[in-house]
Amino acid sequence: MKLNLKFWKDKSCGLERAIFIALSALTLLAAVLLSKDAGMSGDEHYHLGHAQDVVNFYTSFGKDSTAVHPNPKNGQNNLHMYGQLPDNIAYLIYNSFGINDIMQVRHAVASVFGWLAIFFAALLAFRITGRWRAAIFTLCLFFLSPRFFGQSFNNLKDPPFAAMLMMGTYYLLYFFQTFPKPPKRVIAMLALSIGLALAVRVGGLLLIAYFGLFGLIYWVPQWWQSRKSPSKKKTVMQLFKRLFLYGLAISAAGFFVGMLLWPYALVNPKHVFEIFADMSKWGYVLRHLFEGKMIWSDSNPWYYLPRYIAYTVPVVALMGAAIYPFVGGLKKSNIFNTFIVYFAFIFPVFWIIYTGANVYGGWRHAMFMYPPMVVAAGLGVDAIIEKAKSKHFKIAFTLLFFVLLINPFMYVVKNHPYEYLYFNQLAGGIKGAYGNYEMDYYYHSTREASEWILADVRKNGAPDSTRKTKVTSWHPASVNYFFRKDTADFSVGFVRWNERGNSDWDYAIFTITGMNAELLKNKKAFPPKNTAYQIKVDGVPICIVLKREEKSDFLGHRAMQQGNIGEAIPLLKKALDYDAYNEQSLNDLIAIYQHLGALDSAQMLAQRWVAFNRGNTTALNQLANIYLKKGDYSSAAVTANAIAKYNSRDISGLWVIAQAQAQQGQLNDALRTLQQLLRTRGDFKPAYQLMAQIYDRSGNRQRAQEIMTAVNSMP
């Protein structure tokens, strides 16, 4: 278990050591420089205000306690539950030096933390093997892991947390290799690692748990061997006492450091354990694209995380990690180190699957499992080469390793700064994943889209010189940042994709996040006719810029809202003549036709809508309601059942079915359907009202009255 090596003084292979040092420096420089091109992530704007609150907390010596309470002004009410150390560091830098482009500072800080994960993973590979070659393989593989590397450009939560956990894992192994007399610097760095990990996320407590677990696994075999020897048993028990005291002191010191850097923990240390206990319940429940279907993130299939990992890390990482146990990892001299590495990346995945934790965005929430996985892969590649008997085989295996890295390398070269969207050959690359898995869910591409609009207006002039150019987006926070210097000429607003025709704008920016697979794969309907610019990765669009060429959809919607149906109909027809796949105009015109009783015309439009975007539950609901009004209950039920298929929490299908059953006299069936509906939406008053009508029709007027009394008291 012991491997006494003095890292930077090792003379066993000066060339490999020099190569490692040079590559470490180059990768750090590359990470910082490449982060300059990154867009603003979907979460960054939330943390800006909280970072200021944290600094105010410390500079006022706790008198300004805003940082330890929910603050709706920051857009989220749980930011006080994060240590967010990297955000605070970035704030101190740009605020102290008066730097205007705060995102560049944030991204540089994020990239340094991301690089630390790479660096300590490589050092861990060296410490296990004593070979710089293993460190070089690990470093190269990690640097060319586009998902992690791309996230490290602008994600100040997940890669930094992974980095601190990797640093802690490295010093844990170092500690056990040198125990019972670990160097003071190792003790200090292990405590610091625990503290810094806690100062990023509460999951830093895992390092303390790892310390205890790995300590037991280190000690138990020695105790087992000493059972029949009283003298040895005494020595082993003394060893346990020493290990326990070290563990207690280091963990306490690390916890204290983390508490000092995290206001919410500093005011009450109990908060740390309360948050840790509920960690798996954090996050928002989102609908996201997985295997070509929109699903809710708290109802992911058990294999969601393993599938994403298998499809988005370099293939050689999967191969190397799978091979290492069989090419030396399970040797008696290596088994303790192997356990540490594999436990550190397998346990988080297992725990997320076991608890059914709410995760989304691929394996972003489990990113801390990836550094030890890369270490395992680097060890596997190194072990194969070490086992090769001839020089030629060693060269061949080394070349094979770098050949297998060509795919992620070429992806990075071609698609920077969208590295984090990488899908490997198992997924068929980006083209194979398009329409099946989420792409730019973190809105990185809004920067390029915003810069294109600025350039287009400068080149061709504003659409209307008498007013500001209106730019809208599904995610206006990042768009607003990139127009911050041009507020005299531009205004930025919010619009949803499925309501884009209902607002007045000149340009609209949309990433494909949250769009139905059926729409994305329909080349006639998507991208829309008024698409002026597409941001593509490996040939498929991840973001589009729409440019308003005519406003009949907006004008028609406004006329409808004002009750001017005679004006709305020709405008909406004009919009559909311009773009037959304009879903907002279809929705409006269908609603008008239903209102006028022109059900055949409404049905024709609804069927056309469903034909090109069957995954749109609004379209299905419109068609189901038309069938219901026409008395075609069978077609209404079939269409309504499809709604639940595409969105399990959309009650509109159940509502149509309940009405159809009631109208056909199937009163008991209608009651059961209504009860099912109310289990999902207990505040849906029309369901209670229909239920009361059914009881009244059945002669149970007392029950009907009780329900209506309850409905009338509802807010």
Question: In angstroms, rounded to a whole number, what is the distance separating the alpha carbons of residues 392 and 254?
Answer: 48
Secondary structure (3-state) at 179: coil
Q: CA angle 413-374-300, nearest 5°?
A: 90
Residue 435 domain flag? no
| Measured distance CA(352)–CA(155) in Å, rounded | 21
Question: Do 144 and 231 belong to one domain?
Answer: yes
Q: Which of 370, 404, 438 finishes a domain?
A: 404
Q: What is the pLDDT of residues 174-228, one digit of tens each?
A: 999 999 999 999 999 999 999 999 999 999 999 999 999 999 999 999 888 888 7
Q: Which one-letter DSSP state was computed for residue 437?
A: B
Query: Among 707, 1, 679, which Cα is nearest to 333's?
Result: 1
DSSP assignment of 300-365: --TTHHHHHHHHHS-HHHHHHHHHGGGTTTTSTTTHHHHHHHHHHHHHHHHHHHHHT----STTGG
Asked whether the beta carbons of 79 and 47 are under 8 A apart, the reply is yes
Weakest mean pLDDT among 3-12, 395-404, 628-637: 3-12
134 and 142 Cβ atoms separated by less than 8 Å: no
Q: 569: pLDDT confidence band, cut at 50, 70 and 90?
A: very high
Q: Which residues pair with 288 in a beta bridge?
A: 295
User: Which of 404, 432, 460 is a domain's end point?
Assistant: 404
Tokens 């091109």 correspond to 37
Structural domain range at position 660: 561-712
Does residue 424 lie in a domain region? no
Residue 426: count of CB within 10 angstroms of its CB: 14
319-346: pLDDT as tens digits: 999 999 999 899 988 999 999 999 999 9
At 120, the pLDDT band (50, 70, 90 cuts) reads very high
In this prediction, residue 1 carries a pLDDT of 41
Q: Is residue 466 part of a domain?
A: yes
Ramachandran angles phi, psi of 101, nearest 5°: -85, 80
Do 351 and 231 lie in one domain? The reply is yes
Q: Which residue has the tokens 């996040």?
A: 513
> Rounded to whole angstroms, how far apart are CA atoms 135 and 13?
12
Is the CB of residue 661 less than 8 Å from the CB of residue 670? yes
- Please report where in the chains the tokens 């857009």 appear, as a residue: 75
Residues 142 and 122 sit within 8 Å (Cβ to Cβ): yes
φ, ψ (nearest 5 deg) of residue 2:
-90, 140
What are residue 542's phi and psi, to 5 degrees? -110, -15
Domain count, the chain: 3
Residues 493 and 600 reside in one and the same domain: no
Domain match, 53 and 160 both: yes
Torsion sign, CA atoms 348, 354, 357, 361: positive
pLDDT classification of 619: cutoffs 50, 70, 90: very high
CB 107 within 8 A of CB 36: yes
Question: Could you tell me if 511 and 572 lie in one domain?
Answer: no
Q: Who wins on pLDDT, 189 or 713?
A: 189
- pLDDT, tens only, 472-509: 999 999 999 999 999 999 999 999 998 999 999 999 99
* String of DSSP letters for 253-274: HHHHHHHHT-HHHHH-THHHHH
Final residue of a structural domain among 404, 428, 456:
404
**Over the stretch 416-434, which tens digit does the pLDDT of each residue have?**
999 999 999 999 999 999 9
3-state secondary structure of 368: helix
Residue where the block lists tokens 């992690």: 148
Find the mean pLDDT for residues 297-309: 94
Q: pLDDT tens digit string along 542-553? A: 999 999 999 999
Residue 413 belongs to a domain:
no
Q: Are residues 285 and 194 in the same domain?
A: yes
CA distance linking residue 422 with residue 538, whole number of Å: 10
Average pLDDT score, the chain: 93
Residue 77 lies in a domain: yes
The pLDDT score that the predictor gives to residue 155 is 95
H-run or E-run covering 287: strand 287-290
Report yes or no on 419 lying in a domain. no
pLDDT at residue 12, as a whole number:
53
Average the pLDDT over 665-672 and give the result: 95
* Residue 459: partners with Cβ closer than 8 Å, 6 or more residues away: none
What does the alpha-carbon distance between residue 55 and residue 66 come to, in Å, rounded to a whole number?
Answer: 10
Q: 625 and 532, same structural domain?
A: no
Give which of 715, 665, 654 is closest to 694, Cα–Cα. 665
Question: Residue 282 above 80 pLDDT?
Answer: no
Q: CA–CA separation, 535 vs 540, rounded Å?
A: 8
pLDDT score for 147: 96
Say if residue 231's pLDDT is above 50. Answer: yes
In the block, tokens 């531009």 appear at 490
Residue 10, pLDDT > 50, answer no
Q: Report, as an integer, the average pLDDT of 680-708.
A: 93
Is 518 in the same domain as 666? Answer: no
| The pLDDT of residue 8 is above 50 | no
Report the pLDDT value the prediction gives residue 234, as an integer from 0 to 100. Answer: 85
- Give the pLDDT confidence score for residue 688 in this predicted structure: 95
CATH of the domain at 683: 1.25.40.10
Q: Using a pLDDT cut of 70, give the percent of the chain over it.
A: 97
The answer on 566 and 492 residing in a single domain is no
Band (pLDDT 50/70/90 cuts) for residue 13 is: low
Answer yes or no: is 679 within a domain. Answer: yes
Residues 499 and 589 placed together within one structural domain of the fold: no
Domain identity same for 264 and 356? yes
Counting Cβ atoms within 10 Å, is residue 12 exposed (0-12), middle (13-18) or buried (19+)?
exposed
Torsion of Cα atoms, 66 then 71 then 76 then 78, to 10°: 50
What are 596's two structure tokens? 């006028």
Residue 498 lies in a domain: yes
Res 14 pLDDT > 90: no
What pLDDT is recorded for position 4?
43
Q: Are residues 147 and 290 in the same domain?
A: yes
